[in-house]
Structure 1
Amino acid sequence: MSTSSILSITIILTAIFAYINHRIIKWPPTIGIMILSLISSIVLVALGNLGFVFHQKAVELVSAIDFQDVLMNFMLSFLLFAGAVHINARKLKKERLHVLVLSTLGILISTSLVGGLVWLLFGLFHLVVPFIYCLIFGALISPTDPIAVLAILKEAKIPSTLELKISGESLFNDGVAVVIFMTLVDVAHSGTADISVISVGKLFLQEAAGGMLFGAILGYLGYYALRSINDYKVEVLITLAICMGGYFVAGHLHVSGPLAMVVAGIITGNKVKDEVLSDTSRDYLGKFWELIDEILNAVLFLLIGLEMLVIKINLTLCIIGLICILIVLLARLISVYIPVRLLRRKIIFEKHTVLMLTWGGLRGGLSVALALSLGTKMYRDGFVLITYIIVLFSILVQGLTIGPLAKKLQTTNLPADE
């Protein structure tokens, strides 16, 4: 199937599901689209069991889409840049310590806990999976993705500082988690005998610090370029070049493209918009990236739902996946609680911060893409299925209940955490 056919069908399906959700279901767009996509996949599987040829055509369509390549090498740069453009740098600066600790120490704690507990869980089912592969799974399932929940949180009128903690953490921990994931994959390929703590640390610093430095360079290059013109069409085009070209170059420099996009997006969305752009350009730029964000998120969640058509189902792994939901939630709780306890003397936290950050830490397309990027010798099919189960629970259950939970916490007298 040609690329143009795949793209056309994907956009058509996304538009149809978005329309149905808007007129009938009225759930948050990304969740509504994903549920409709998931239901369609289940119906197609049922029709395939009855001998309908249409199921095979749908499987061919989904199989032709390289989800990992589409997300990691194309969509992720846009999603992170667009999200960062709308982050208020002044407010983020006030929350920087909490965001930094959560997106680094929190990810490391979660990766270690999930990796260790999943390794023990495989042992209980008499499945021998090397510990390093379980750590890799811990890294890919730890980053949070609040895209589907932010709109609900706004409706629930939670404190803006808590909303910023969730969005700020997610932007940075996506990049940090990708760096940790890639580092662990390199360790798995090279063998632990040839790897030292110093070499791992150097690789991590190169990817993380290098990515942030490169993002800052991109942001300021864009700033000086945009300062010399006043044409919204060219200005939008330059920001596109920063996003697409910067992510491409970051890959060749072996620095973190995701972190580069976050830093470049924050500079573009604040210093550039505040000091350089006219009111007209600022309006066009904001709406352009908001539209890009909404469209790509809709397509992303459609693809997550359709992936069910090609995922290999195994009953034992399904049971393990359901248990892993509890493991991931426990790891998230601990990885949030420890940083909050460490920072409580320096930062004033909102009521129920730990609970909201735990339940609002959704897993999304990034985790699925990272799982799909694993080699077959790294138990790829098993980890993909387990990841898919966790992501579905996260988006459908946590995503649909975080709003009511936020409202309930504001109207009850439950003891507040730090």
Structure 2
Amino acid sequence: MIPYYYLILLISLSAGLAYVNQRFIKLPFVIGLFFLSVVLSLVVIITKNFYAEPFLQIRDLVVQSDISSSVLNIFLGFLLFAGALHTNWFALKNHLKNISVLAVGGVLFSTIFIAFVFHYVALLLGLDIPMLYCFIFGALISPTDPIAVLSILKEAKVPEKVEITIVGESLFNDGIGVVLFIALTEMIGVNAVGFDARHFAWLFLQEAVGGVIFGLVIGYTLHYLLSTIDHYETEVLLTLAFVMLGYFISSTLHISGALAMVIMGLMVGNFRKGQAMSDRTEEYVAKFWELVDVILNALLFILIALVLVVIDFDIKYLILGVLSVLILIFSRFLAVSVPRRLFPRLLDIRKDEAKIIIWGGLRGGLSLALVLSLPDNETRDILLVVTYIAVVFSILIQGITIGRFSKRVLREQ
């Protein structure tokens, strides 16, 4: 029954914070909930010196519960499928070149650039972070996050072309980022200091190609099953079962469950949808997964707040986190601006659109979920603090200002 009590705590905290936001603060759901979870974690950290016993209870709860595994192995598949399900593939297809350049080339470039700069900045602060972990940090922080992007862009009212490009990029680059992350983390036990390029390339191909193929197979299978019946309760259950089984099987086969869920979600949401689902079923399936997305977002941010309170903060970690925000912004600027100038036929966006895409590259729950899954050691604690600071800036600063920033940029043209 203990896990059930944990769930009661998480749901109650999430519901309470969501109510406070809707009743008083009135920020967009993702931004408001994340802001209040930050406040919650700060309150707990500040009060731990005065009320040690409740803090120790929270610490024991976090240590005993396998939060890292829950986030990566359970939450991620649901969140990615839900995001892909609500994405219009036919709109994405018109901007596929832009999306591909940013989602693949942008993530690969950012991972390498961030890894090297982050490593040397950390050394200047007296933090000797192994190069492999720097690449892991680059991989987990480079993707723009659909969990944050999809919710925030709806409120921001950015131009349609820019919104489609950012959303499409976020859906596919998170898959690429997760593949890079998994391939790199599997090397920790093999070679914790160096970098085996051949082993990494094989793992990357296995995860990426396998994930896409498996996503197509289970996506088409689910489409066929949905097309043979017209009963919305059963069809909702089928989508739920395929996400759970598909993600579990992907991890068993050592292929990318993230890419598989994105491909399957796009197929269910777009491939001959009129043949597979009636209008009524389509409405229920869409609403069900919208609710799943909202609830898991809420739980994820509360989990992050709980994990933060058990970390022993060092001022060097905080400084590195602030400097990392600058590294990320500069990396994003290069990843968008360089191909736009050198290969305008591949990345066909105007200067004003590029500015919005640069500022709209939000990091969110995906990066936090990935860093939580790292082996528990001091390096992981450093990366968790740095990642958290980057996500706080991204959601609370970039997320809140993206709408006004977009309007200002467009007025200047």
Query: Same fold by TM-score, threshold 0.5 exceeded?
Result: yes
1:404 is matched with 404
In the alignment, the residues of structure 2 paired with residue 352 and residue 150 of structure 1 have an alpha-carbon distance, to the nearest angstrom, of 21
Q: Deviations over 1:351-400 (max 9, x none)?
A: 52222222211112222222222234672221122112111111111111
Query: In structure 2, the residue corresponding to 1:263 is in which secondary structure?
Result: helix
Separation of aligned partners in 1, 2:371 and 2:135 = 12
List per-residue Cα deviations over 1:33-86 (Å, max 9, x = no partner).
Answer: 122222122222332211353333333344444332122101110100011011
Contact 1:140 1:177 in 2 (8 A): yes
Aligned to 1:341: 341
Q: CA-to-partner distance for each residue in 1:106-165, whole Å, 9 max, x for gaps?
A: 111101111000111122123333322211211111111143344443344222221111
Q: After superposition, where does 1:12-411 map in structure 2 within 5 Å?
A: 12-51=12-51, 53-191=53-191, 197-346=197-346, 348-350=348-350, 352-376=352-376, 379-411=379-411
Alpha-carbon distance in structure 2 between the residues aligned to 1:125 and 1:194: 22
Q: How many Å separate the matches in 2 of 1:124 and 1:194?
A: 21
For 2:378 and 2:61, how far apart are their aligned partners in 1?
26
Structure 1 gaps of 5+ residues are 414-418
User: Is the CA contact 1:38–1:308 (under 8 Å) kept in the aligned structure 2?
Assistant: no
1:192 Cα offset (Å) = 8.7
Q: Which secondary structure state, in structure 2, belongs to the residue aligned with residue 236 of structure 1?
A: helix
What residue number does 1:416 align with?
A: none
Query: Structure 2 length as normaliser, TM-score?
Result: 0.93
Contact residue 321 and residue 385 of structure 2 kept, 8 A: yes
Contact 2:318/2:385 (<8 A) preserved: yes
Say how many residue pairs are matched.
Answer: 413
Alignment CA distance shift 1:343-1:266 (3 Å): farther
Alpha-carbon distance change, 192 to 29 in structure 1, aligned in 2, over 3 angstroms = closer
Judging changes above 3 Å, is the alpha-carbon distance between structure 1 residues 376 and 228 closer, same or farther for their aligned structure 2 residues? closer
Residue 212 of structure 1: how far off its partner (Å): 0.6
Whether the aligned pair in 1 keeps the contact of 2:62 and 2:306 (CA below 8 Å) is: yes
Q: Is the 8 A contact 1:107 1:139 kept in 2?
A: yes
Q: CA 1:385 to 1:7, structure 2 compared with 1: closer, same or farther past 3 Å? A: same
Distance 1:50 1:379, change over 3 A: same
User: Within 2, Cα distance between the matches of 1:350 and 1:277?
Assistant: 39
Deviations, residues 291-335 of structure 1 (Å, cap 9, x unaligned): 111111122222223332122200112111111110111111111
8 Å contact kept, 2:352–2:409: yes
In 2: Cα distance, 1:37 partner to 1:377 partner: 24
Higher mean displacement: 290-299 or 191-200: 191-200
Farther off after superposition, 188-197 or 253-262: 188-197
Greater mean alpha carbon deviation, residues 369-378 or residues 98-107: 369-378
The CA distance in 2 between the partners of 1:7 and 1:304, in whole Å, is: 14
**How far 1:252 moved relative to its partner?**
1.1
Measure, in 1, the Cα distance between the counterparts of 2:225 and 2:149.
35
Matched position secondary structure for 1:306: helix
Q: Equivalents in 1 of 2:245, 2:353: separation in Å?
A: 38
SS at match of 1:187: coil
- Summarize the Cα distance change of 1:271–1:263 in structure 2 as closer, same or farther, 3 Å threshold: same
Deviations 1:236-275 (A, max 9, x none): 1111111111001111111100000000000001115232
Q: Is the 8 A contact 1:318 1:386 kept in 2?
A: yes
Q: Which stretch shows the higher mean deviation, 387-396 or 252-261? A: 387-396
Mapped to 1, the partners of 2:188 and 2:378 lie a distance apart of 9
Moved more, 404-413 or 59-68: 59-68
User: How much identity, in percent, do the aligned residues show?
Assistant: 44
Distance in 1 between residues matched to 2:111 and 2:216, nearest whole Å: 28
Read off the aligned partner of 1:255 and give its amino acid letter.
I
Structure 2 regions of 5+ residues with no counterpart?
A: none
